[in-house]
């Protein structure tokens, strides 16, 4: 079946295109409204044409690589199909297979080019900030940090003699001892309460 037949069907069943739709492929199959009509489609076409449906399956490829499938049917009297059109539709393969559909550039769904996408590199969004702050190490009085001495030059920020104004850190051993005793006391009380 040629694209002219598919496009005529698309107009008859009012196929419309959405902004994100790129192109459409089509497949036609016949379907009877009664069991008798389904059993003999040719006899149905001649003796009970109102019970014979021409169904157009449309596979619509969209911009996000998604394929939307829809099916619309119309009866033979409404389509005013010729015998040649009936015979061509009767020879169509099952529309359940995507390979049976034919790509056509119909006015109801013209072929569009994919819009170019712009990608933004993560480096242009996220910046890495480097800190220039150097924290002094804990050293004993009179000693310098040997790792920062090069070419007989001493880094003044790491010489303990130049850090006389820095107050020494207070020991927190006593706080940890009290916290440990308190936790042990709570454990013993809970044990005796619930045992």
Task: Transcribe 107-123 into DSSP letters.
Answer: TTB---PPPPPP---GG
**Residue 72 counted as domain residue:** yes
For the chain, what is the total number of helices (H) and then of strands (E)? 6, 4
**Residue 160 counted as domain residue:** yes
Strand partners, 56: 28, 72
**Residue 122 counted as domain residue:** no
**Residue 177 counted as domain residue:** yes
Judged by average pLDDT, the poorest of 55-64, 73-82, 87-96, 158-167 is 158-167
pLDDT at 163 over 50: no
**Residue 159 counted as domain residue:** yes
Residue 79 CB coordination number (10 Å)? 20
Which of 80, 104, 128 is at the close of a domain? 104
The number of folded domains in the chain is: 2
Residue position matching structure tokens 């994919």: 114
**Residue 134 counted as domain residue:** no
Distance of CA 18 to the CA centre of its chain: 20
Task: Tell me the mean pLDDT in the region 156-164.
Answer: 49
Where in the sequence is the domain holding 168, given as residue range(s)? 146-194
Pair (154, 85) in one structural domain: no
Pair (186, 95) in one structural domain: no
Pair (89, 15) in one structural domain: yes
The mean pLDDT value of the chain amounts to 75
Judged by average pLDDT, the poorest of 32-46, 76-90, 160-174 is 160-174
Pair (72, 159) in one structural domain: no
Which of 39, 71, 104 is at the close of a domain? 104
Pick from 68, 97, 99, 76: which is nearest to 9 by CA? 76
Q: Which pLDDT tens digit goes with each residue over 92-114?
A: 888 888 888 999 999 999 998 87
pLDDT at 24 over 90: yes
Highest mean pLDDT among 21-30, 115-124, 131-140 belongs to: 21-30
**Residue 13 counted as domain residue:** yes
Pair (99, 30) in one structural domain: yes
**Residue 114 counted as domain residue:** no
Pair (37, 89) in one structural domain: yes
Pair (157, 88) in one structural domain: no
Residue 193 or residue 146, greater confidence: 193
pLDDT at residue number 97: 80
pLDDT at residue number 54: 94
């Amino acid at each position: 079946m040629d694209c002219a037949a598919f496009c005529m069907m698309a107009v008859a069943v009012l196929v419309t295109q959405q902004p994100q739709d790129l192109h459409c492929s089509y497949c036609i199959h016949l379907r009877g409204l009664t069991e008798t009509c389904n059993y003999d489609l040719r006899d149905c076409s001649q003796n009970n044409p109102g019970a014979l449906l021409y169904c157009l399956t449309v596979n619509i490829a969209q911009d996000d690589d998604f394929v939307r499938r829809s099916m619309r049917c119309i009866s033979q009297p409404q389509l005013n199909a010729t015998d040649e059109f009936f015979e061509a539709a009767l020879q169509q393969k099952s529309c359940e297979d995507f390979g049976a559909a034919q790509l056509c550039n119909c006015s109801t769904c013209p072929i569009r080019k994919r819009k170019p996408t712009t990608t933004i590199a993560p480096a242009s969004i996220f910046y890495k900030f480097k800190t220039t702050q150097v924290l002094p190490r804990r050293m004993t009085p009179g000693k310098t940090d040997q790792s920062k001495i090069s070419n007989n030059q001493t880094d003044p920020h790491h010489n303990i003699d130049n850090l006389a104004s820095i107050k020494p850190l207070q020991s927190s051993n006593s706080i940890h001892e009290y916290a440990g005793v308190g936790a042990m006391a709570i454990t013993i009380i809970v044990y005796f309460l619930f045992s």
